[in-house]
């Protein structure tokens, strides 16, 4: 009973963070490890459960997506291409190797969250090469998201801010839609090819769905810088803890 309450509470928190900046994997990965689930199975289980959060975030982000569906579909298509490749890499990874590389991903996520923003360049048009690199980054972030995904939301927002322009809340809505499509595709692959812990799926989906709906609403009222700094500090602490467990 206590385990179920623990999973629902942490899933609710993960869902909120997913709606704000995309942190379900970062939040739930150590939670599932703490109850005895193996690293790769934990990551696959989170991906399947996160589809529930996606339903909530899309429902809550419809207002921001209203005039941006074309861009959201383009971003989701490219990102999902990468996500499928990332999922294939995960499927062929070992638990020991995955356990050792995850702390590095989480540390990178924390550093990027805390790294100060640089002033935007006001030029209207970039070169064709730079534009191509920006769109290529969408695919590469999708690949990372399919493999693990901690802080992939932040990476996507950084790229979309230069590709699209506009407000953070718009990038976040497009990122929410893209992540939802990514997770659906990866989840289908994981269900057939990896071990999913169905015994914890109900509390995970319940918490993620409710939290995923609340997250985009919070974004409308709390400065994103405050949220990023808090999550960044927690990410670095978590990376050091998981790194200690994996390497020592």
Q: Match 């709906």 to its residue by tokens.
A: 213
Q: What is the pLDDT along the chain (248 residues), one digit of tens a residue?
A: 788 999 999 999 999 988 887 778 878 989 999 999 999 899 899 999 998 888 888 998 998 899 899 999 999 999 999 999 988 988 888 777 777 877 887 787 778 778 776 555 545 555 788 888 889 989 988 988 888 766 677 678 778 877 887 777 888 899 899 999 998 999 999 999 999 999 999 999 999 999 999 988 988 887 767 877 887 788 788 889 888 888 87
Give the pLDDT of residue 69.
94
Look at residue 121 in the predicted model and tell me its pLDDT: 54
Give the C-alpha separation, 59 to 49, whole Å. 17
Region of 149 on the Ramachandran plot (φ > 0 left; ψ -120 to 50 alpha; else beta): left
Helix (H, G, I), strand (E, B) or coil at 93: coil
Residue 226 CB coordination number (10 Å): 9
Q: Which residue has the tokens 């490890």?
A: 33
Neighbours of 198 (CB within 10 A): 10
Q: CA quadruple 214, 219, 224, 226: dihedral positive or negative?
A: negative
Q: Report the pLDDT value the prediction gives residue 124, as an integer from 0 to 100.
A: 52
* pLDDT at res. 118: 58
Q: Residue 120: its pLDDT value, please? A: 53
Identify the pLDDT of residue 37: 94
SS3 labels along 197-227: CHHHHHHHHHHHHHHHHHHHHHHCCCCHHHH
Q: Which of 161, 169, 140 is nearest to 227 (CA)?
A: 169
Q: What is the pLDDT of residue 117?
A: 60
**pTM (global) more than 0.85:** no
> Are 17 and 23 a contacting pair, CB within 8 Å?
yes
Residue 126 confidence (pLDDT): 54
Element (H, E) at 13: helix 2-20
Give the DSSP letter string of 139-182: HHHHHHHHHT-TTHHHHHHHHHHHHT-S-HHHHHHHHHHHHHHH
For residue 213, the model assigns a pLDDT of: 92
Q: Are 79 and 176 spatial neighbours (Cβ–Cβ below 8 Å)?
A: no
SS3 for 68? coil
Q: How many CB atoms lie within 10 A of CB 201?
A: 15
């Amino acid at each position: 009973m206590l385990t179920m309450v623990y999973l629902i509470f942490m899933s609710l928190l993960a869902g909120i963070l997913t709606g704000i900046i995309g942190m379900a994997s970062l939040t739930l990965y150590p939670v599932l490890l703490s109850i005895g689930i193996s690293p790769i199975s934990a990551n696959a289980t989170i991906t399947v459960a996160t589809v529930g959060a996606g339903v909530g975030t899309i429902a809550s982000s419809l207002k921001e997506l209203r005039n941006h569906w074309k861009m959201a579909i383009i971003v989701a298509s490219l990102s999902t291409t990468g996500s499928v490749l990332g999922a294939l890499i995960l499927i062929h990874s070992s638990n020991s190797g995955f356990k050792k590389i995850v702390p590095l991903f989480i540390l990178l996520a924390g550093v990027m969250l805390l790294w100060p923003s640089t002033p935007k360049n006001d030029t209207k048009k970039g070169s064709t090469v730079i534009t191509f690199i920006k769109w290529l980054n969408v695919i590469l972030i999708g690949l990372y998201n399919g493999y693990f995904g901690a802080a992939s939301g932040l990476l996507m927002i950084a790229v979309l801010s230069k590709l699209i322009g506009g407000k953070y809340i718009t990038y976040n809505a497009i990122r929410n839609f893209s992540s939802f499509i990514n997770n659906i595709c990866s989840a289908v692959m994981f269900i057939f090819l990896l071990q999913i812990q169905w015994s914890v799926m109900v509390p995970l989906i319940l918490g993620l769905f409710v939290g995923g709906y609340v997250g985009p609403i919070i974004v409308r009222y709390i400065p994103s810088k405050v949220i990023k700094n808090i999550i960044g500090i927690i990410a670095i602490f978590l990376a050091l803890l998981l790194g200690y467990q994996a390497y020592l």
